Amino acid sequence: MKLILLGAPGAGKGTQAELLQKALQAPVISTGNLLRAAIAEGSKLGLAAKEYMDGGRLVPDELIISLVQEKLAAPECAHGAIFDGFPRTVAQAEALDGIGGADAALSIEVSDAEIEERMCGRRTCPNCQTTYHITHNPPRREGVCDKCGAALGIRKDDEPGVVKERLRIYHEQTEPLIEYYRAQGKLREVPGQGTVTETTALIFKALSICS
């Protein structure tokens, strides 16, 4: 199954993608994580993406589309993938349709006020990219990644001014995808205001997966 996770930055796409990965037996393609890894490596893609990301703006479509095409061609994606943070524009959605499209698009809906509150408390592992929240989804040991033991940090684009810009861009460029996938009959919508566990249960129900 190819599943798209839609939702504002901080809606919980990354956390839910991790949980769905096991249930659907499909790898997660997170364009944000791939770009952060490219920046850490100092690759050409990373150099091109950094300025956009630090300012909370979208990386140009052509860079993202070729990155996703490359990932989708890998053998582990032969039976599907879970897209976290892709597509983010209609041009990206059309490009994905051109290479087979997706089976479903799941929109996790959270208000802007809640997003801003969540982003303030978000902590990210700079090593494996796992995200936590200081109160809603804390690591077992404060400040330490459960998965790899690295010290957690705050992403530059999670700073309050940048979060406002990311939300503005989300409404302008990514939200239209909700109608795009509704028109294709592929949209499922779930409220994402509750706890991680509550949202996971709603997602599993929307996708008819037994937990």
Residue span binding ligand AMP (CB under 6 A) among the ranges 72-80, 87-95, 107-115, 183-191: 87-95
Judge whether 102 and 184 are in contact, CB under 8 Å. Answer: no
120 burial type by CB count under 10 A (0-12 exposed, 13-18 middle, 19+ buried): middle
Residue span binding ligand AMP (CB under 6 A) among the ranges 71-79, 86-94, 101-109, 138-146: 86-94
Residue (32 or 192) nearer to ligand AMP, CB: 32
Does 12 bind ligand AMP (CB under 6 A)? Our answer is no
Does 204 bind ligand AMP (CB under 6 A)? Our answer is no
Does 32 bind ligand AMP (CB under 6 A)? Our answer is yes
Residue (12 or 85) nearer to ligand AMP, CB: 85
Q: Six-digit token pair at 140? A: 């077992």
Choose the catalytic residue: 36, 118, 123, 155: 155
Does 35 bind ligand AMP (CB under 6 A)? Our answer is yes
Residues belonging to the active site: 13, 88, 122, 155, 166
Binding footprint of ligand AMP on the chain (CB under 6 A): 9, 31-32, 35, 52-53, 56-59, 64, 85-88, 92, 157, 166
